[in-house]
Amino acid sequence: MTVYLWQADGPEAGARGVSDDERKARRAAADLLRCGQASSAVVQEAAAELGERTLTAGYYATGQRWQGRLVGAQGRVRWVPARAGAPS
C-alpha cells in the first residue's frame, strides 16, 4: 500500500500527516505554507510496512520526495522533486 507522508515546519511549530492520495498530501502541506504557519513543506511517497510477527507497523520511503515552495504573491505553491534524505 502506497501512502504519502507530508510535513510542514515553521519557526514555532510543525505539522505532519499521512494520506492515501498525493494531491491531498500536497494540499495539506501547501495550506500551511500559504497561511504562514509553515516556512517549509515536504511530501514523500512511502509504503506501509506491517510487522510479520509483532503488531508494529510503520512506513519506508520509496525515494520519491517533493519540496514545496511559495511562488509569487498569490500564494501559489510549486512542488519540485528533491533527493530523499536531503535537508528540507
| Closest among 32, 51, 50 to 41, alpha carbons compared | 32
Rounded Cα–Cα distance for residues 5 and 45 (Å): 6
Rounded Cα–Cα distance for residues 67 and 43 (Å): 7
pLDDT, tens digit, for every residue of 11-46? 877 899 999 999 999 999 999 999 989 999 999 999
Q: Which residue has the higher pLDDT, 87 or 27?
A: 27
81: its cell numbers:
522533486
User: What are the residues whose beta carbons fall under 8 Å from the beta carbon of 35, sequence distance 6 or more?
Assistant: none
Please compute the mean of the pLDDT values over residues 7-12 and round it to a whole number.
89
51: its cell numbers:
510487522
- The pLDDT of residue 87 is 47
pLDDT at residue 55 greater than cutoff 70: no
